[in-house]
Every structure is written in structure tokens, then in C-alpha cells.
Amino acid sequence: MQLFVNDLTVIDFSYLCEERGVVGESWIVDVLLSGDLNAESMVLDFGIVKKQIKAIIDDSVDHKLVLPANSNALVVTESKRSEHLYVDFNGPDHALFLQSPKQAFVSIDTDKITEESVTRYLETVIKQQLPENVQGIKLGLRAEVIDGDYYHYTHGLKKHDGNCQRIAHGHRSKISIYRDGEIARDLERDWAKRWADIYLATDSDQVSFDEVELSEVAKANIRPDHLFFSYYAPQGRFDIAVQKHTLEIVDCDSTVELLADYIARQLKQKAPQHTYQVVAYEGVGKGAIASA
């Protein structure tokens, strides 16, 4: 017997890629369970599927930085801070160095993060926590079908009490922009290109090389175009070094509300004779609207 739940949850996270750098992503999760009927004549109660399995998925990947453990560019070591890690990703075109609490990372036994590798990892984790009558689980991870422009961004929110405080988590997000009440596809394309695989940092979080906490290996491999950001949040201290070609520094916190406002202000500054409405998304099915 099989039981399915489509659109169980959405995982918003970032991952490290030798070709693209740090990539914000949002994947919709479908689940298919197979097994014998239990005493309640069910494979598994829908309430358990929606609550327990969703919680396992969220705890395993959601709002984390996913690390390809077998990548030659990756080195992970214990930080001098208790329960923190140094993550050094030193690829030829993309070098990213971090310190964060351990819970901000998940390492997967692969050299490249893909839907397939994350699916295998999650299926293994979930299967260990299912009742004996459930013999099989199959997950489907898929990106939202977007008829228009979108971008991948990574960020952190130091004021957030939940997992959004992690300095390197992200989203794949569509955007809609209206100029004088009409859809402006040219502006949508411009912003999708501008924020393709971008790291969005808040200006007030920028620190100097002397202030940032990174591994000795990281500091020895810092490149001239690296900039540094750091903050304390309830989960611990977060530090990151990002290269300029994958970075935009914004004059606000990077909540979706303020990012929508940031885009609208940027557009208005460039062409004040027009009015603008920006519909910015944070992953799938949620976002904010700002006008200027």
C-alpha cells in the first residue's frame, strides 16, 4: 500500500558549488510512503506525515548551508568557539569562508549538491525514524515552475530568533515589477541578472579583516576582493568572507519586506519620473510588496 502527500513543505537553504559559489535554493517536497497497514488501517496517519516528517526535513536541511563533503575545495574544522565550525570553500573562481554554529551546516556525502544527492540524504534520515510497518519512502524535490524571471540569493538575518539568523541560508525567488501600473519585464530581467547567485549583506554587519573570526587557513587564502561580515545572534556568532563579484551590500536588513523596498527605491532613484510597484518573493508562495 502507498500513501502520498504532495507539497508537504518547502525547504529554503543554500549550498556550496564549485562552479556557482554559494547558491540560494527553494525546493518543494513531495513524499510517497509504502508499507503495511497499521492497527488503524493506515500506512501512516496524515497528521504524522505532515507534522513529524516535515519536522525531520526542516531540521535536516531547511535554512542551512549544505556542504558537499567530497568536494576538493571544501575544508571543515572545529572553531575555537564551542559548538562552532570553520567552513573554508576555496574554489578557483569562488572562495567563501565562514564561521557559524554547527547547527547552521549540514554535510552530505557527495562532491556536488543536487536534487538527487539531497533526496538520498533525506530519505535515509527519515527512514530511520519511521514506524516498522513503513518499509519505503520516496521523496520528490522540485523547483517551483516560474513563468518569468527569478534569482537565487543567500543572506542572514541577525535580528531573527529562528533559523533565519543563520548567515548563509537562501532562496530561489521570482520577482514582479510594475512601472506606471504596467508589468516591466525589462526591469525584472535586470534584477534577475543582478542578483543571480548573489550574497546579500547588510552594510551595518560589515567588519574589517582584523575583526572577522575565520580559520588560519582561511585568513591565509583571503583574496583582495573579499569583504567581511559578522554578527552575534541567539544561536551564536556568525562570520563570513565573500568576494565582491558575488556580493551586494544593502542599506537595510535583508528581510523580504525591506528587499522589496530596496529594489523600489533603487528604481525610483534611477528614474524618478515613474512610479513602481515591486512584488518580491522569499522562496515559494510568500513575499512582500513595496511601492515608490
132 pLDDT higher than 90: no
pLDDT tens figures, 159-179: 999 999 999 999 999 999 999
Domains of the chain: which residue ranges? 2-291
Q: 25 and 19 in contact (C-beta within 8 Å)?
A: no
Q: 13 and 62 in contact (C-beta within 8 Å)?
A: yes
Q: What is the CA radius of gyration of the chain?
A: 20
Q: How far apart are CA 112 and CA 247, in angstroms?
A: 22
Q: 168 and 98 in contact (C-beta within 8 Å)?
A: yes
Least confident of 43-47, 132-136, 223-227: 43-47
Query: What is residue 40's three-state secondary structure?
Result: coil
pLDDT tens figures, 6-19: 999 999 999 999 99
pLDDT tens figures, 169-227: 999 999 999 999 999 999 999 999 999 999 999 999 999 999 999 999 999 999 999 99
Give the fold, CATH level 3, of 2-291.
Tetrahydropterin Synthase; Chain A (3.30.479)
Q: How many CB atoms lie within 10 A of CB 284?
A: 21
Print burial letters for 17-49: b (CB count within 10 Å at least 16), e (below 16): bbeebbbbbbbbbebebebeeeeeeebbeeeeb
Could you report how far apart the first and last alpha carbons of the chain are, in Å?
55
Tell me the residue ranges of DSSP E strands in 74-214: 74-78, 84-90, 95-101, 105-108, 134-142, 150-155, 169-179, 182-183, 198-202, 206-207
